[in-house]
Structure 1
């Protein structure tokens, strides 16, 4: 399939291909269909058992057990954390079972018959606008930019338009979901434009020997140094740290700390077992 051929090309960058896991229930993605998260789920799971959800529905349905898994974009190479990361951290119970980094190349989607010079308005997710900004500033600097809830919502709005003066930025799959065509493909495609998704599930995968663990730590300005020192003392390798607001006070924060290893093995297992202040969000194969 085309998506797997593309993933093979990305193998040099990401190290290895993903293997499609078996699915035992509905898998929610940020809808409507035609979004980048829809494309990520097609890559990972095929088209079976996928259900589109709004942002609120996705997290409430996962919390209530109405869906078995949920796929959420959490970080990008262009803007850092996405607007969805905090919602994952807010869940009282969550297990990250996989990560999926994907190099993005946007398509400019229009209704059939639309010419590039006809376009007066483009629709896209706010993160998408940041990712296509160099191309858009250079190629279509005078068009009006309208934010949409997702790439799927942008494509859907263009498809429903009664005029031929609108376009959307998103994955090319939008032209298969809606009666649209692509005028330009591969916009801002490259290693500088990568998004990483988390797959939220119910059971932590077994260790593979090349794993990553995501941890949530609450710390104040005065205690952060000690928290980080404890990782070093335990021999746990920190890979990335993302600061998020605590939503309580200015000098307290939530830190997403991602480390090498599996929470059920070795030094990391011994470390987290002694730290009630550190919440394990999930261990999964490192991509």
Structure 2
């Protein structure tokens, strides 16, 4: 997987920062509030038009109910593996992944204007973010209290609302613009070791491009998984990654997210899927 560097954010942000607005068909939903890495990913992909910040439950319900056209969700990272949101996507009865977006992350330490780095006593971040900045924090701020937040945007919002100048948050630099904060340090833990990948959930499968990836879901027992995987590779399909997820049914059954090269409507993969209905297609999209 090739990591993408950050893109420049253009224009002013005009989102409602205090509450989740009502979703509208045609809009692009992301995990709010504004100032999160998912917000930044959507800005990179689509600009600031039609973006709707929603809570986790609102996002998945709005997508399922057809109230939003697209939803952007972080699913894997190079540091922690799968995110807490992957299983929620796999739980959806109907889903179409229309794009993936891997992005190299470089965190910013955000604080209210006037805050000095040496005065910071508490930092806020999403639990995954804390794992990703841990080497830097352990080295540079080992004695600062670390408090979990729902997202990078929520962390920045908490700092902005603090009456004192002893708090900071970790997240994308866009959070400084959204919440009138300042960045004390940029580029924290930026590098190929710190990449997050988002899925964009949509409605219609993109046409083949010649360089595609397909995400498959297989529900099976442990003793049958090897044969299923062998059948897939034996059909000449290149397996890229496999993620084992709990079935939520029994201990010896699992859900397997299997990502393969190719498009579900072309070539050997299309032939294989026509004969093996136990593999559910979650989406085919350009490979990044």
Q: Deviations over 1:10-52 (max 9, x none)?
A: xxxxxxxxxxxxxx81000000000000000000000000000
Q: Secondary structure at the match of 2:258?
A: strand
- Structure-1 separation of matches of 2:5 and 2:81: 27
- Structure-1 separation of matches of 2:121 and 2:151: 20
1:235 match? 236
Within a 5 Å distance, the mapping from 1:243-262 to structure 2 comes to 243-262=244-263
CA-based RMSD of the aligned residues comes to 1.2
2:214 match? 213
2:117 match? 116
Query: Are 1:270 and 2:271 an aligned pair?
Result: yes
Within a 5 Å distance, the mapping from 1:153-192 to structure 2 comes to 153-192=154-193
Deviation at 1:118? 1.0
1:87 match? 88
Q: Secondary structure at the match of 1:176?
A: helix
Q: Deviations over 1:76-118 (max 9, x none)?
A: 0000000000000000000000000000000000000000011
- Structure-2 separation of matches of 1:181 and 1:216: 43
Contact 2:5 2:103 in 1 (8 A): no
- Structure-1 separation of matches of 2:125 and 2:287: 30
- Structure-2 separation of matches of 1:250 and 1:68: 36
Q: Deviations over 1:182-239 (max 9, x none)?
A: 0000000000000000000000000000000000001111101110111122111100
Contact 2:273 2:279 in 1 (8 A): yes
Contact 2:6 2:105 in 1 (8 A): no
Q: Secondary structure at the match of 1:149?
A: coil
2:18 match? none
Deviation at 1:6? 4.1
1:152 match? 153
1:281 match? 282
2:199 match? 198
Q: Deviations over 1:151-189 (max 9, x none)?
A: 000000000011111100000000010010000000000
Deviation at 1:70? 0.2
Q: Secondary structure at the match of 1:240?
A: strand
Q: Secondary structure at the match of 1:195?
A: strand
Q: Secondary structure at the match of 1:284?
A: strand
TM-score with structure 2 setting the length? 0.92
Say if 1:259 and 1:46 are closer, same or farther in 2 by CA, change over 3 A. Answer: same
1:46 match? 47
TM-score with structure 1 setting the length? 0.92
Q: Give unmatched runs, 5+ long, in structure 2.
A: 9-24
- Structure-1 separation of matches of 2:214 and 2:7: 23
Q: Give unmatched runs, 5+ long, in structure 1.
A: 9-23
1:29 match? 30
Deviation at 1:278? 0.8
Contact 2:6 2:103 in 1 (8 A): no
Contact 2:215 2:259 in 1 (8 A): yes
2:104 match? 103
